[in-house]
Amino acid sequence: QVQLVESGGGLVQAGGSLRLSCAASGRTFTNYAMGWFRQAPGKEREFVGAIRWSDGNTYYADSVQGRFTISGYSAKNTVYLQMNSLKPEDTAVYYCAAGIRGSYYPRSQLSYDDWGQGTQVTVSS
């Protein structure tokens, strides 16, 4: 059974940093992409970033480019989201996701089959 578990969320002041972690288990993720998505209250879930394990390529939403960094260890099935220069508009529940189609279409939620429960990130002004 595939399981994705996020951790590292919390409350931080604007301008601060947080690092989210996602530990995946239950299958081999070698040809997968791991994505991060977020959903703010009253808004649709949106793409944040992704990493393709096959070549380590990373992809980011324009809103977080230059502030957020995705990294990870495919051998450990662990992916991180380092978030710097946080803004109040980054407040959301952040979800980790895994999917083979994510390697081709990393920005689409439809490319991901497995999702974590989410972790809350709150940025105060």
Range of weakest confidence among 24-28, 48-52, 102-106: 24-28
**CB-CB contact of 104 with 89 (8 Å):** no
DSSP 9: -
pLDDT digit string, tens, across residues 55-98:
999 999 999 999 999 998 877 789 999 999 999 999 999 999 99
DSSP 100: S
- Reported confidence tier of residue 31, pLDDT bands at 50, 70, 90: confident
> What does the longest C-alpha to C-alpha distance in the chain come to?
41
- Reported confidence tier of residue 2, pLDDT bands at 50, 70, 90: confident
> Hey, how many other C-beta atoms are within 10 angstroms of the C-beta on 31?
12
